[in-house]
Structure 1
Amino acid sequence: MKRILSVFVCLFFVIGALSCYAQTDSKSQTLFNGENLDGWHMDVPDLEEDSTLRAPFIVRDGMLVSLGEPRGHLLTDDTYRDYRLEVEYRFPGEPGNCGVLVHASTPRALYKMFPQSIEVQMMHENAGDFWCIVEDIEVPNMEERRGPEEEWGVTEGKKRRIVNLTDGSENDLGEWNTMVIEALDDKIKVWVNGDLVNYGTDATAEEGKIALQAEGAEVEFRKVVLTPISELSSKE
């Protein structure tokens, strides 16, 4: 179990949860059309070495599916900033690892695999963790959630994981989960099934592509919808 956060931090996040999502405009955009991967492109290093390998991202029964192997990323062709992203996903078989990357930019910046970005973890029982990938973000109670400050970093061998705030926000294995990521200016909020599970500020990136991972486990996505946050709400 994660240690109980300080009263100040708890109140901070309760207020954040009560405020819910920032006001958005009505121009929601479905990033996955249910038929093909138009608007996306893959970056899968092993496919460059062996073109006979199957692609790890497919469309099946109207769902976008990450098969998990070979490992890599599916990235949007377009870049985005100031938005709310709603993703519905599940692990249909064995539990495992996956993630949504926001503000993705330079490809293969970490371990010659991961694009420069901030990852919102979807790994089973860890949904909502932040992983810093050559970008950084700050949260309250940072040492408790990230480890000793002298070990923090955004590159190989550094403490890049920032643990989320809740246990038990995910549904049972095989059931659908809803993850909402709100990226506004240099702030990122994450909800899982309605629970506010992470909130970071002072992110070192404020725009970029959105990426889904193939990282060892099969994951199905039935909804990937982006709604821009209005210019008016960003002035609040």
Structure 2
Amino acid sequence: MKRITFLLLFVSIPFFAHSQTKKLFDGKSLAGWYMDVPDLEADSSLRIPFIIRDGLLVSLGTPQGHLISEAEYDNYTLELDYRFAGEPGNCGILVHASTPRALYGMFPQSIEVQLMHSNAGDFWCIEQNIEVEDMEARRGPKENWGVNGRKERRIKNLTDDSEKPLGEWNHIKITCDADKVTVWLNGDLVNDGFNATATRGKIALQAEGAEVEFKNILLTEL
């Protein structure tokens, strides 16, 4: 009996270790993150666009740039809560982020999960690509697809009414499993991508014009 119990414990330890959930934001500091903000780098008198306020991580929106995880990740689920603090606008979560400033001298090479008001859950291809079912219906004519410049980089999400009213918290869940990226917003499946051209990288939050608050940023390894 003791031997069976020991064997079960031995088998269970790797499983629970592999399923560990990590807090990526401690509510007090930006430990584990760094900023890439081109305008701030050029002019240090500008305000810092990522701050801690009342235990929340806040993207002030300007100057524009990214808050990027120091660590790289693969095969994980990322969950967080967000809301627009004032006027609705644009923001996003980047997964599999790598080469900095790869697009427009601003955006790191990555796959963006859009948070822009009324468009949350869209994919944007940033020097990386991903596919979905019904690709032409959701991305436009195939000859216009691309991952940079004026190409069709946006892949529309699956729903129209998954966002909460302005001022309320939205819960987003992103699972990156090998070459798949799946997104749920407030419990609704809003995007389901496959054949991603990246499967590992950093995570980034955007400052892209609008003030956004974040909390409960958790990563669970698959």
TM-score (norm 1): 0.86
Aligned partner of 1:224 in structure 2 is 217
Q: CA deviation at 1:25?
A: 4.7
Please state if 1:164 is matched with 2:161. no
| Correspondence list, 1:72-221, <5 A | 72-221=65-214
Question: Does the 8 Å contact 1:24/1:227 carry over to 2?
Answer: no
Q: For 1:78, what is the secondary structure of its paired residue?
A: coil
Aligned-partner Cα distance in 1 for 2:121–2:216? 18
Aligned length: 207
**TM-score computed with the length of structure 2 as normaliser:** 0.92
Q: Aligned match of 2:21 in 16, 25, 28? A: 28
Secondary structure, counterpart of 1:140 in structure 2: coil
- Greater Cα shift, 46-55 or 23-32: 23-32
The 3-state SS of whatever aligns with 1:69 is coil
Work out the percentage of aligned pairs sharing the same amino acid: 66
Change (3 A) 1:24 1:130: farther
> Could you say which residue in structure 2 is the equivalent of 1:232?
none
Larger radius of gyration: 2
Give the whole-Å Cα distance in 2 for the aligned partners of 1:42 and 1:97: 18
Runs of 4+ with deviation above 2 angstroms? 23-26
Tell me which residue corresponds to 2:57: 64
Question: Could you tell me how far 1:223 is from its partner in structure 2?
Answer: 1.4
RMSD over aligned Cα atoms: 1.2
What secondary structure, in the 3-state scheme, does the structure 1 residue paired with 2:106 have?
A: coil
Shift of 1:49: 1.2
Residue 48 (structure 1) shift: 1.3
- Deviation string, structure 1 residues 168-201 (Cα, Å, up to 9, x no partner): 1000000000000000000000000000000000
Look up the equivalent residue of 1:87 and give its one-letter code: L
- Report Cα offsets for 1:144-175 as digits up to 9, x if no partner: 10001000000111000000000110000000
SS at match of 1:143: helix
> 1:26 deviation in Å?
3.7
Structure 1: segments with no counterpart, 5+ residues: 1-22, 230-236
